[in-house]
Chains A and B, each alone.
Chain A
Amino acid sequence: MMKRHLWLAVALASVCQFTAVSAARAEEIKIGVLGLFSGSASWWGTEYRRGINLWLEQNKNKVGDDTLVILERDEGGVNPQRTRQLAQELVVRDQVQYLFGGSFTPNVLAMADVVNQTKTPLVIGNSGTSSVTLKSPYFVRTGFTQWTVSVPLVEYAAKKGVKNAAIVVADFATGYDAIDAYSETFKKAGGKVAVEVKVPLGTTDFSSYLQRVRDAKPDAVFMFMPVGPMSAGFVKAFKERELDKAGIQLFATTETMESDLPAIGDSALGTITALHYSPFLTTPENTAFVKAYKAKYGPGALPSIASVSAYDSMTLIAQMIKATKGKKDAEKAIAAVKGYSWVSARGPVSIDPKTREIVQNVYIRRVETIDGKLGNKPIDTYKSVVEPWHVGHPQVAAK
């Protein structure tokens, strides 16, 4: 009698174990998201969240049989210590398999140790500094770098006959990247840099700096300011001071994003910018993306570089999950996205196997009134731009 029960117990237990094993395939995969969800830059967090949620909705929260669970954490500003700690908690305590996020370069750099020690792939949504991806073999960038957009911008300007230009940038790391990118490219194209102006972070009164530009008498200004009060303020002040009427053309990158255009107002009209995305691209992929975005977030909403990069990052993470069959295997996951290509709302993209930087189109855009609102209309395309800093500086990049 005892013996029969024992057999039954063993049989039952083995059945249970079997089901447990097969259930393990349809598991929850946790993704830690680090974004700016509060503070003056919380626009980034909102856009990240929108991009992710749109992707999750379209894919019913699943990759194959695995369900994706998103754990959001708030970086709360330029805050490397906090970001590092949050990343560590996410990986160690919450057992996330993938990390996505990082908006500002210092925060991304702070995560490098955590990522390297725990072998957790981090898909970087933003951070304009080129050297960031050298800090960890598990970093993949779906955003852009200041070099990626600066080089086409300057080449376009040179093609249009700009010979003598001023460079105005904000005084911090990405600003130095911008100065290097602008002046190297411009000198290579035969141009002359009339003056380089570094504007301290937090400046809102640009009169003195614009006076220096005016005194240097250039044909054009290449600018870089962090998105927000500085960029809006500079574009406004440029027009208010009538530097355009003095024959100076303004060239910019992210500064005229649709979210900031209402604050800049009509002063932005005619500004030429280079960026890897515009909500007014007319490709079928982007039309569908914008339509889905508006359906979910309201008719007045427009996707941006941040929501597109969050959406694309989810595509990339899904690819990693497929390649590793849901298991935690950073080497295999990263190998699976090297060279991976797909068609994004921003156009055809792929991940450069050498640098883990995204290869993407860069669009030359002009601020125009589109359907009664200000927007960036694409007027020219630089196809499949490979991150130029890595290409042009192999010695530094190899270190």
Chain B
Amino acid sequence: MTQSLATFLSLSIDGVAYGMLLFLISVGLTVTLGVMRVVNLAHSAFAMIGGYFTLWAMQRAGLDFFVALLVGVIGTMVLGAVLERTLYRWVYTANGLGQLLMTIGLAFIICAIAKHLAGTELQTIPVPQGLRGTWDFGAFSVSVYRIFALVCSAVVAFGIWLGLERTPFGAKLRAAVDNPRMARCVGINVPVVFSITFAIGCGLSGLGGALSSQILPLEPYYGLKYLVLVLIVVAAGGLGSLRGSLYAGLLLGLIDTLGRYYVPALGAFMIYLAVLAILLIRPQGLVGRA
């Protein structure tokens, strides 16, 4: 295998793994945006919360990485459910602009609390020995952690699809979204269905935040800093489309990684150029509803 082909292969694997992580941190927003029509700009703040919960479960409670990951996800879900029952009630009734303002405000508050509790230092979640290092296949090598993150994201993607399309809960949720009054009439408890969906969305972002801390390190401003990444994945994929987010995450991850190597002069702008191109050709996003 020639050197340049090996380089291209390793870059592609990196790009796919990065793309899957992008998908993972934005999929929660896709779920809440797509099924509940809530523009939740505090979404990446929940990713940060998931990351901090996982970190603290490891540092302060001395838990194992995988247990801590579970604690982080469940903690974020519980917090999300509580906030949904209290604050987000008002967000639902607001119009689009109201939703934006309320949720970005919440993101600021969460950042301030995180700064107070965690300090401004950067943190990353220590990874167990087995996930460190690289696998070498002759001329090219891949990072073990990226493969792990890739597999996790793929499992999550499949799980969400299965949950929405193939379970009674998924059917209830789709019914509750399409016609809440009719859903109530047939005995679906719409508020509870929404709470659970919102909590799942938060849990997914929490998982994304914890898993991606190797690439996007935790800090109190995480929730605002990486909001742009989350939003462009959702926008390029098509608002609320699960498949769209997956395609957009993968495409942007690949373009970003390959662009930085082959067109270094453009560096970090490649991803924005790509988003621009996608939205010019398909204003509704890759899998948008026209």
A, B in one complex: yes
Q: Write the residues of chain A forming the contact surface with B, with a CB cutoff of 8 angstroms.
A: 39-43, 171, 197-200, 202-205, 207-209, 211-212, 215, 228-229, 232-233, 236, 240-242, 259-260, 262-265
B217 lies within 8 A of A263 (CB): yes
A233 lies within 8 A of B215 (CB): yes
B133 lies within 8 A of A262 (CB): no
A208 lies within 8 A of B217 (CB): no
CA gap between A263 and B143 in the complex, in Å: 19
Q: Write the residues of chain B forming the contact surface with A, with a CB cutoff of 8 angstroms.
A: 3, 7, 10-11, 14-15, 18, 120-124, 126, 132-134, 141, 143, 145, 214-217, 219-221, 225, 256-261, 264, 267-269
B122 lies within 8 A of A232 (CB): yes
Task: Tell me the minimal C-beta distance from A162 to chain B in angstroms.
Answer: 23
Query: Which among A42, A207, A262 has the highest number of chain B CB atoms within 10 Å?
Result: A207
CA gap between A236 and B125 in the complex, in Å: 12
Q: A40-B219, A200-B268, A236-B214 are in contact. Are A211 and B256 (CB under 8 A)?
A: no
Which one of A205, A215, A229, A260 contacts B7 once the chains associate, using CB atoms below 8 Å?
A215
A263 lies within 8 A of B261 (CB): no
Instruction: List 5 tightest A-B contacts by C-beta distance, closest first.
Output: A208-B260, A200-B268, A208-B261, A207-B14, A263-B122
Which one of B11, B122, B123, B214 contacts A228 once the chains associate, using CB atoms below 8 Å?
B122
B14 lies within 8 A of A203 (CB): no
Task: Tell me the minimal C-beta distance from A301 to chain B in angstroms.
Answer: 12
Contacts beyond the supplied A42-B120, A200-B267, A207-B18: 6 A-B pairs with Cβ under 8 Å = A211-B14, A233-B215, A240-B143, A240-B145, A240-B214, A260-B121
A43 lies within 8 A of B217 (CB): no
Task: Tell me the minimal C-beta distance from B150 to chain A in angstroms.
Answer: 13
Q: A211-B7, A211-B10, A229-B219 are in contact. Are A40 and B143 (CB under 8 A)?
A: no
Query: Which among A43, A171, A204 has the highest number of chain B CB atoms within 10 Å?
Result: A204
Task: Tell me the minimal C-beta distance from B265 to chain A in angstroms.
Answer: 9
Q: A205-B18, A211-B10, A211-B11 are in contact. Are A240 and B132 (CB under 8 A)?
A: yes
Please name all residues of chain A whose beta carbon is closer than 8 Å to the beta carbon of B260 when the two chains form the complex. Answer: 203, 208-209
B267 lies within 8 A of A205 (CB): no
A208 lies within 8 A of B257 (CB): yes
Please name all residues of chain B whose beta carbon is closer than 8 Å to the beta carbon of A215 when the two chains form the complex. Answer: 3, 7
CA gap between A337 and B7 in the complex, in Å: 55
B264 lies within 8 A of A197 (CB): yes
Q: In this complex, what residue of B is CB-closest to A205? A: B215
Q: In this complex, what residue of B is CB-closest to A242? A: B134
Q: In this complex, what residue of A is CB-closest to B22? A: A205
B124 lies within 8 A of A263 (CB): yes
Please name all residues of chain B whose beta carbon is closer than 8 Å to the beta carbon of A233 when the two chains form the complex. Answer: 215, 217
Q: A171-B267, A240-B132 are in contact. Are A205 and B256 (CB under 8 A)?
A: yes
Q: How many CB-defined contacts (below 8 Å) exist between A and B?
A: 90
A-B CB contact pairs (8 Å), 9 listed: A40-B219, A200-B267, A200-B268, A203-B268, A208-B258, A236-B124, A240-B133, A241-B143, A263-B124
Task: Tell me the minimal C-beta distance from B269 to chain A in angstroms.
Answer: 8
Task: Tell me the minimal C-beta distance from A290 to chain B in angstroms.
Answer: 19
B122 lies within 8 A of A212 (CB): no
CA gap between A296 and B45 in the complex, in Å: 34
Q: In this complex, what residue of B is CB-closest to A39? A: B221
Task: Tell me the minimal C-beta distance from B161 to chain A in angstroms.
Answer: 26
CA gap between A360 and B118 in the complex, in Å: 35
CA gap between A265 and B219 in the complex, in Å: 16
A40 lies within 8 A of B120 (CB): yes
Please name all residues of chain B whose beta carbon is closer than 8 Å to the beta carbon of A263 when the two chains form the complex. Answer: 121-124, 217
CA gap between A228 and B221 in the complex, in Å: 12
Please name all residues of chain A whose beta carbon is closer than 8 Å to the beta carbon of B217 when the two chains form the complex. Answer: 204, 229, 232-233, 263
B124 lies within 8 A of A265 (CB): yes
Q: In this complex, what residue of A is CB-closest to B224? A: A40
CA gap between A200 and B219 in the complex, in Å: 20
A265 lies within 8 A of B120 (CB): no
Please name all residues of chain A whose beta carbon is closer than 8 Å to the beta carbon of B18 when the two chains form the complex. Answer: 205, 207
CA gap between A215 and B7 in the complex, in Å: 8
A260 lies within 8 A of B122 (CB): yes
CA gap between A262 and B125 in the complex, in Å: 10
A40 lies within 8 A of B221 (CB): yes
Q: In this complex, what residue of B is CB-closest to A210? A: B14
Q: A215-B7, A263-B121 are in contact. Are A242 and B14 (CB under 8 A)?
A: no
A259 lies within 8 A of B267 (CB): no
Please name all residues of chain B whose beta carbon is closer than 8 Å to the beta carbon of A240 when the two chains form the complex. Answer: 132-134, 143, 145, 214
Q: In this complex, what residue of A is CB-closest to B221? A: A40
Q: A199-B267, A211-B7, A263-B122 are in contact. Are A204 and B145 (CB under 8 A)?
A: no
Please name all residues of chain A whose beta carbon is closer than 8 Å to the beta carbon of B220 when the two chains form the complex. Answer: 40
Task: Tell me the minimal C-beta distance from A351 to chain B in angstroms.
Answer: 32
CA gap between A241 and B267 in the complex, in Å: 20
Query: Which among B7, B11, B14, B120 has the highest number of chain A CB atoms within 10 Å?
Result: B120
CA gap between A252 and B65 in the complex, in Å: 30
A208 lies within 8 A of B11 (CB): yes
Task: Tell me the minimal C-beta distance from B28 to chain A in angstroms.
Answer: 20
Task: Tell me the minimal C-beta distance from A225 to chain B in angstroms.
Answer: 12
CA gap between A229 and B122 in the complex, in Å: 7
Please name all residues of chain B whose beta carbon is closer than 8 Å to the beta carbon of A232 when the two chains form the complex. Answer: 122, 124, 217
CA gap between A209 and B262 in the complex, in Å: 10
Q: In this complex, what residue of A is CB-closest to B267? A: A200
CA gap between A209 and B260 in the complex, in Å: 7
A241 lies within 8 A of B121 (CB): no
Please name all residues of chain A whose beta carbon is closer than 8 Å to the beta carbon of B123 when the two chains form the complex. Answer: 262-263
